């Protein structure tokens, strides 16, 4: 059972790591704090959760500013792998959080490796949205991937599945 004091301690540790510019450790402790705070229901924990989520985005941006393209691609791959693990255990929300973060790291990268990661992430997003019965969103993510590679079979399949669920057979 998570304790508010432990979540607060991890949050404080994350801020200390941020001050010494060890963003990876800061994000790690921040994620532990977020995970704990997510399961608590008191108002004080809810306020800290909102703050921690905002800090996570801010620290990710700081981390990205200090990375070259190769490091950003490696980080994106690592986050994609984490997301795939969450997906495997049916934690679609956490999977999508990882995919979103991965996409953030690789969004400005160019080259075949970056393109392939983006395609995979959009496919994974489309699949998660499909599994959540968010068919319009699944189509949106499939379309984003298809903008990169209009002949990607997985993305075409995901889009077709979602269109079929919406009864739009003429487009699927």
Q: Could you read off the pLDDT of 70-86 as tens digits, one per residue?
A: 999 999 999 999 999 99
Structure confidence at residue 138 (pLDDT): 96
Q: How far is CA 93 from CA 2, 42, 97, 166, in A?
A: 20, 22, 6, 22
Whether the model clears a pTM of 0.85, i.e. scores above it, the answer is no
Q: Over the chain, what is the mean pLDDT? A: 92
- The residue assigned the tokens 């795939």 is 84
What average pLDDT does range 117-125 have in this prediction? 96
**Each residue of 23-58: pLDDT tens digit?**
989 999 999 999 899 888 888 888 999 999 999 989
Q: Can you say how many angstroms the Cα of residue 63 is from the centroid of all Cα atoms in its chain? A: 15
CB 123 within 8 A of CB 154: yes
What average pLDDT does range 151-159 have in this prediction? 95
User: Quick check: 170 pLDDT over 90?
Assistant: no
Q: How far apart are CA 139 and CA 136, in angstroms?
A: 5
């Amino acid at each position: 059972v998570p304790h508010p004091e432990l979540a607060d301690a991890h949050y404080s540790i994350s801020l200390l790591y941020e001050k010494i510019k060890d963003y990876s450790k800061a994000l790690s402790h921040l994620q532990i704090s977020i995970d704990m705070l997510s399961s608590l229901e008191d108002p004080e924990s809810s306020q800290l959760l909102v703050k921690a989520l905002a800090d996570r985005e801010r620290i990710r941006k700081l981390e990205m500013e200090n990375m070259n393209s190769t490091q950003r691609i490696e980080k994106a791959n690592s986050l994609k792998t984490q997301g795939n693990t969450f997906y495997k255990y049916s934690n679609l929300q956490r999977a999508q959080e990882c995919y979103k973060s991965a996409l953030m790291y690789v969004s400005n990268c160019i080259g075949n490796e970056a393109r392939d990661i983006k395609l995979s992430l959009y496919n994974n997003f489309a699949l998660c949205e499909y599994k959540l019965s968010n068919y319009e969103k699944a189509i949106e993510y499939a379309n984003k991937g298809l903008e990169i590679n209009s002949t990607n079979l997985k993305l075409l399949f995901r889009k077709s599945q979602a269109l079929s669920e919406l009864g739009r057979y003429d487009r699927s």
